[in-house]
Amino acid sequence: MAVKVDIGRSYQSQTRVEEWMTAEKAGNRGVDVLSTPMLLQLIEEAAVQCIAAALGPEEVTLGSYVELTHIAPTPVGFIVRTEVEVIAIDGPRINFAFAAFDEREKIAEGMHERYIMQKPRFLKVLEEKQA
């Protein structure tokens, strides 16, 4: 790791919901709001960015667990603010608490875990699986 990750380290991002991000586009006809899979992607991106500076050049993080409660719908055009905070570190495992908000209310909350792994080892595992 280039920089030490401490409990309490946090990050937030903002994203405008676009048409391609909706449940409608994911196959849920008539539901033109931010899809849960896209919400999860925003959470994962924020967690990755939260600890990016702490990773060495040969390290990657892999999502290994998520507990997500999607509380409220967010229409196209609204801005979503995603906040993550490191709440626990156990060796290569980093646990985050997260919350997401649109312009009106909290839309999601939960926990996310990422696992730090050496990129060459990850690529070897992937190569072995494809063989």
Task: Decide yes or no: CATH 2.60.120.260 for domain 10-130.
Answer: no
Please say whether the dihedral angle defined by the alpha carbons of residues 98, 77, 36 and 55, taken in this order, is positive or negative.
negative
Residue 35 pLDDT greater than 60, yes or no: yes
pLDDT, position 4:
79
Q: Given the DSSP bridges, would you call strands 59-70 and 10-16 parallel, antiparallel or unpaired?
A: unpaired
Over residues 73-96, the pLDDT tens digits come to 999 999 999 999 999 999 999 999
Cβ(69)–Cβ(110) below 8 Å: yes
pLDDT, position 1:
47
Residue by residue, what is the 3-state secondary structure of 32-67?
CEECHHHHHHHHHHHHHHHHHHHCCCCEEEEEEEEE
Over residues 92-121, the pLDDT tens digits come to 999 999 999 999 999 999 999 999 999 999
Q: pTM for the complete prediction?
A: 0.93
Residue 41 pLDDT greater than 90, yes or no: yes
Sketch the domain layout of the chain as residue ranges. Answer: 10-130
